[in-house]
Each structure stands twice: as structure tokens, then as C-alpha cells.
A and B are shown apart, each in its own frame.
Chain A
Amino acid sequence: MNIRQIELEVMRYDPEKDEAPWFQQYSVPCQEDWAILDALNYVKDELDTTLAYRWSCHMMVCGSCGMMINGEPSLTCKTFVRDLPDKVRVEPLENFPIERDLVVVLDDVMQKLHQVQPYIVRKDAPPQEDKEFTQSRGALMKFKQLTMCINCMCCYAACPQYGLDKNFIGPAALALAHRYNLDSRDQGKSDRLDILADHDGVWECSFVGACSEVCPKHVDPAAAIQQMKIDGAMEFWKQKLGMPGDKS
């Protein structure tokens, strides 16, 4: 198998030792079918055991290996060496504080995910033991792509609004909220509205669309947010005109 020498330029940062992040060069003999994650694993196994980064599945399922590869947020397991030049810069995800090296602190997004209640909220009594909540095929089709999110946070790294304003709820959390709003089994839409239709919710989005472009799972958070803006605007006028709001 052909071996290609790649110069990896990896951002390093140890908050206990370094004043600021810096770049370390590694020369990695890559096999032609390697992804950037394989190159990082080579560095860790053969060159430098101190390098810190997150990964788990190596198959685009776990969402832990999101990093900036030549400036683009992407899963390192999905980005192949054969598609890249001989010099590759690997940095931690943009817009997040660095924990160490390529590992970022995700507390802010975790708290935001929690806020939007991304799970089925029921107000009526649950169905009897032997019955299930029904889900129509049509309703499922509407939100199925939104369920593909693996929380890799590439969309937050790409989002200029999140970069400017950390109060913004952001693409993945809003898209997941929309996924449950569209679910016929869910009754939590009015609870979520407080967060979603507030200033830091959908309105902070200026529809740049970078979130949808970088999503490795082809989720379309930008579209979900625009659909929620329509919902929010309708709900606003319903409330102003004293019409019954969305109870579900």
C-alpha cells in the first residue's frame, strides 16, 4: 500500500503549563485509506503520547471527534487524507474554550441541550401498558433528518452567531427542539417556546446556513430554525390577537 508523508500541524494547549495555544508539527506516514483520525492515532501511538483528543467509534456515529481540519469543522474520522494537501492543520473546534490540546469544553452546549427539553414531553396520561404512542409515517418524514444529529458540535464551530454571542441557543439544540416540536407524540411545544422564541432563541440566527453546510450527518439545522421562526411569528400574533395558542 502506498504511504504518503503528511505534515500534521496540531494545536497544543495545556492550561497548566502554556500561556497560549501553540502548534506542534508531526510528520506522519499515512496509508492511502487513512482518515485524519488515523493520523492522530498514529501520533498518539508512535510519536507523542501526551496528545489529547476525543474519539470513540471511528464510524461517524459517536460524534466525539469533531475538530477544525484546515479551518473547517469536521469529523476527523470522516475526513480522508487523500482529499487533503500534504500539510494539514488540526485545531480544536472553534467557538469553544479549550480543555486541553484538541479537547474542548462542551458544558455550555450541554446546558443548552438540556434547556430545550430534547425528549418527548407528555401532559396527558401515558397510554395503557399494552399500547404505544402512535407515530404517523407522514409526521416521521417531516423530522426524520433532524434525528440524525450526533451532537458533534461542528455546527456550533461553524456558526458565526454563536461565535459572536454565547447566549445564542445555537443550531443543534434548536434543531433538536424542532424535531420534538414536530413529533405527534410530543406535548412540550408550548414549554419550549419560552426558550425558542425568546431573543436568544431562533431570532438570533441570521440564516448564514453554515451549520447545515458543515453537518457530517446532513442534518439541516438552518431550515429547522427558519421553520421555527415562522412558528414563533404565528404564535406571537395569535397571542396578541387573543387567539388560543399552541397547546401541544
Chain B
Amino acid sequence: MAIAKKAIVWGLFAAGGTLTAFVFPALIALFLLIATGNVPEGMQFEQIHVFVTSWLGKVCLFIVLFLSLWHAAHRLRVVAHDFGIRKDTLVASTVYTLAAIGTVLSAYYLWMIKA
């Protein structure tokens, strides 16, 4: 049976889509709240810092960043396709390379956050 390799990137796209649909509206709302000086309970800088320096926090953030990046990459590939850009191999390798670079960078920067 031949299942196209698109199953891999589609899996990441679907998982990322589900995750971002839930996480991103909350992140945007929190960002706006904090930016306007209305810091919710438990969202003080120190508390967030404690969260991102813990391993659990790092793993959670990495999953969110990694899946969002691959979701966005595949979405861009599909949008290019919908616009009639038929150079799929070029588009796919560009967007997935960007997602891969983003994945490595997010892992690196999360690793570098020290207590």
C-alpha cells in the first residue's frame, strides 16, 4: 500500500491546527491584558519565569512552538497551491526548511533560559 509522505506533514498540520485553535486566542488575550497593565493573577513576570525555567514548562512551550510552526508551514504551502503556484516541491522545501529552522531555534532558546 502506498500512502503518500504527505501523511507526516498533514499529521503535524492537523495537530498544530487543533492546538493553535485553543492556545493562540488565549495567548493573544493574555498578551493584550499584560501589555495594557492588567496582569492577571499568577501571570507576574516572576511566576512566568519560574514556569519557563522548569522542564515541564520548557517541554510545553516547545510543543506549542513546534506544532504551530509546522502548522503554519503547511498552511502556507496549501495557500500557495490554492493561488495556483504549481512549484510544490520548491514551496514545500522552503516552508518546511523555515519551520525546521524555527524548531531548532525555539529548542535552543528554551534551553538557554536559565533560572
Contact = CB atoms under 8 A, between A and B. Distances in A.
Q: Do A and B come from one complex?
A: yes
B82 A208 contact: yes
A2 to B, nearest CB: 44
A206 B82 contact: yes
Contact of A194 (B1, B7, B14, B78): B1
B1 A245 contact: yes
Nearest to B8: A236
A164 B84 contact: yes
A198 B82 contact: no
Interface stretch (A19-27, A131-139, A211-219, A225-233): A225-233
Contacts of B7: 197, 203, 229, 232-233, 235-237
- For the complex, would chain B's binding face be called helix, strand, loop or mixed by DSSP majority? helix
A233 B78 contact: no
A172 B1 CA distance: 23
Interface residues of A, number: 22
A159 B1 CA distance: 27
Contacts of A190: 1
Contacts of B3: 193, 197-198, 232, 235-236, 239
B87 interface: no
Contacts of A245: 1
A61 B10 CA distance: 36
A235 to B, nearest CB: 6
A197 B5 CA distance: 9
Interface in B1-26: 1-4, 6-8, 10-11, 14
A230 B10 CA distance: 9
B81 interface: yes
A193 B14 contact: no
Given A229-B10, A229-B14, A206 B4 contact: no
A118 interface: no
Contacts of B86: 164
A160 B2 CA distance: 25
14 contacts: A160-B82, A161-B81, A197-B1, A197-B4, A199-B4, A206-B78, A232-B7, A233-B7, A235-B3, A236-B7, A236-B8, A236-B11, A237-B11, A239-B3
Interface of B: 1-4, 6-8, 10-11, 14, 78, 81-82, 84, 86
Which 3 A-B residue pairings sit nearest by Cβ, starting from the closest? A236-B7, A203-B6, A197-B3
